[in-house]
């Protein structure tokens, strides 16, 4: 992918491919050599990093050039959405970076296509999907768990798989069980701010992707890789800021930063806007993977004893994978556990006896 790298207001060729790395004027030859060495060694490095080392401590030891280090942080932000190298586990981030080196697929119609396709397959297999039903409580234990839904409806079932955030799952539990599961409140969610714009056309169409080194900013014209707008010529663009998990942000200030980034990349963009929305604090992931992730996940193993029949899945439940990979792997694991439990007890996997 051709792209632009921005550093302190100056633009360079983004060194994402071997060719662009050799031709970019951003790095000196010495820095290019260090970057090439890192890319070549990445598969081995990722596997060798100590389990509890954070990204910053790894990078300060392994990368001598501060500019190469900042660029590696920038690539890690891009592939993990985490903007806290001093907290995030190096091993998991480098594994994710390794995965993203294979390239990215942009889906025509966006993520909704995947969600719709999955929902269709589930319904074809006999699942009932209730949209717009906010769960307000989870009570009881196997073999009779009741799930309260807004509007006083109740579903009774043997097993529940909660895929909402750990903190929200905690909120839904009875007071007694909460005491043993306070670990659910110890996961730190990751947020981002996004300015999404549909353009008639882009003032500088040759710039479709950009990363900023000195600020945690990203620009992408997703329409250059997938069909997203209603009309062929329309461009769906995301300008994004990776948020630090420990900082408070003022939405107005962030919006100005994102607009200034657009001014630099697409001067005169305001004239081409069809519609836009600004999301100052969008949830990206339910947990930043840090050095305590493993410990927290171990602590959570009491769930089976405290609330038999309740399972959890989501992107916060892995010390190996991140984001959607973590959500899917934990969901598969939970589903297999439910099937195993049902088979062991000689029951059916799912019984819907609610009043919905
Ligand atoms: C801009 C952006 C880009 C991303 N790009 C990528 C990417 O390229 N690759 C990647 O792997 N990941 C990406 N991610 C991250 C990915 O979207 C998440 O990791 C993933 O969606 C997490 O899945 P989850 O099932 O754990 O949680 P969620 O997707 O957050 O799902 C939880 C669901 O529970 C619902 N819910 C909450 N409370 C209740 C309640 N009380 N009752 C009923 N329902 C409730 C919520 O509405 C939500 O739909 C991106 C995220 C963002 C924001």
- Per-residue pLDDT tens over the stretch 22-36: 999 999 999 999 999
For residue 349, the model assigns a pLDDT of 47
- Listed residue (324, 333, 327) closest to 166, CA to CA: 327
Q: Which residue do the tokens 């632009």 mark? A: 4
Cα gap 163→311, rounded to integer Å = 9
What CATH number does domain 111-187+289-345 carry, 2.60.120.620, 3.40.50.720, 3.40.50.300, 3.50.50.60?
3.50.50.60
For residue 297, the model assigns a pLDDT of 97
Instruction: Please tell me the residue having the least CA distance from ligand 1 atom 24.
Output: 314
Instruction: Please tell me the residue having the least CA distance from ligand 1 atom 26.
Output: 314
The residues of the chain scoring below 70 in pLDDT are: 1, 347-356
Q: Which two tokens stand for residue 219?
A: 């620009």
> Residue 241: CB within 6 Å of ligand 1?
no
310: alpha, beta or left? (left if phi > 0; alpha if psi -120 to 50) = beta
Q: Give 127-174 pLDDT, tens digit per residue.
A: 999 999 999 999 999 999 999 999 878 999 999 999 999 999 999 999
Ligand 1 atom showing the smallest separation from residue 331 Cα: 25
Instruction: Please tell me the residue having the least CA distance from ligand 1 atom 1.
Output: 284
What CATH number does domain 15-100 carry, 1.20.272, 1.10.405, 1.20.1630, 1.10.10?
1.10.405
Cα gap 27→129, rounded to integer Å = 52
For residue 230, the model assigns a pLDDT of 78
> Residue 315: CB within 6 Å of ligand 1?
yes
Ligand 1 atom showing the smallest separation from residue 286 Cα: 26
For residue 238, the model assigns a pLDDT of 97
Q: Residues of CATH 3.50.50.60 domain(s) within the chain?
A: 111-187+289-345
The bridge status of strand 4-7 relative to strand 10-13 is antiparallel
Q: Residues of CATH 1.10.405 domain(s) within the chain?
A: 15-100
Ligand 1 atom showing the smallest separation from residue 316 Cα: 26
Ligand 1 atom showing the smallest separation from residue 315 Cα: 26
Distance 284 CA to ligand 1 centre (A): 7
At residue 305, φ and ψ (nearest 5 deg) are -85, -40
For residue 231, the model assigns a pLDDT of 85
Distance 350 CA to ligand 1 centre (A): 24
Ligand 1 atom showing the smallest separation from residue 285 Cα: 19
Q: Which class in CATH covers the domain with range 190-285?
A: alpha beta
For residue 347, the model assigns a pLDDT of 58
Cα gap 238→254, rounded to integer Å = 14
Cα gap 81→231, rounded to integer Å = 30
Q: Cis omega (within 30 of 0) on the bond before 143? A: yes
Cα gap 147→156, rounded to integer Å = 6
Q: Residues of CATH 3.30.70 domain(s) within the chain?
A: 190-285
Cα gap 159→143, rounded to integer Å = 7
Cα gap 239→225, rounded to integer Å = 16
CA atoms within 13 A on the CB side of 1: 21
DSSP 105: P
């Amino acid at each position: 992918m051709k792209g632009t790298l921005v550093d302190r207001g100056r633009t360079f060729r983004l060194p994402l491919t071997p060719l662009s790395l050799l031709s970019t004027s951003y790095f000196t030859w010495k820095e290019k050599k260090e970057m090439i060495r890192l890319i070549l060694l990445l598969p081995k490095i990722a596997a060798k990093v100590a389990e509890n080392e954070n990204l910053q401590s790894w990078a300060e030891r392994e990368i001598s050039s501060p500019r190469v280090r900042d660029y590696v942080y920038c690539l890690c932000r891009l592939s993990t959405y985490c903007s806290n190298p001093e907290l995030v586990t190096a091993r998991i981030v480098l594994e994710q970076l390794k995965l993203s080196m294979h390239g990215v697929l942009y889906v025509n119609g966006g993520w909704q296509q995947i969600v719709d396709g999955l929902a269709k397959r589930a319904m074809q297999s006999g699942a009932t999907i209730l949209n717009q039903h906010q769960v307000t409580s989870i009570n009881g234990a196997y073999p009779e768990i009741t799930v309260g839904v807004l509007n006083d409806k109740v579903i009774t079932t043997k097993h529940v798989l909660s895929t909402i955030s750990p903190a929200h799952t905690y909120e839904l539990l009875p007071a007694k069980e909460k005491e043993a599961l306070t670990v659910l409140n110890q996961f730190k969610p990751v947020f981002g701010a996004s300015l999404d714009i549909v353009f008639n056309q882009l003032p500088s169409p040759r710039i479709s992707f950009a990363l900023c080194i000195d600020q945690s900013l990203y620009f992408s014209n997703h329409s250059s890789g997938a069909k997203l707008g209603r009309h062929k010529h329309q461009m769906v663009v995301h300008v994004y800021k990776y948020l630090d998990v420990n900082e408070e942000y003022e939405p107005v200030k962030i919006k100005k930063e994102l607009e200034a980034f657009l001014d630099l990349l697409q001067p005169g963009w305001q004239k081409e806007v069809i519609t836009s929305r600004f999301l100052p604090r969008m949830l990206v992931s339910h947990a930043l993977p840090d050095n305590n992730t493993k410990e927290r996940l171990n602590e959570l193993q009491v769930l089976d004893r405290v609330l038999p029949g309740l399972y959890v899945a989501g992107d916060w439940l892995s010390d190996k994978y991140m984001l959607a990979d973590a959500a899917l792997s934990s969901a598969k694991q939970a589903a297999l556990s439910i099937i195993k439990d049902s088979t062991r007890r000689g029951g059916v996997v799912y019984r819907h006896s609610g009043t919905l």
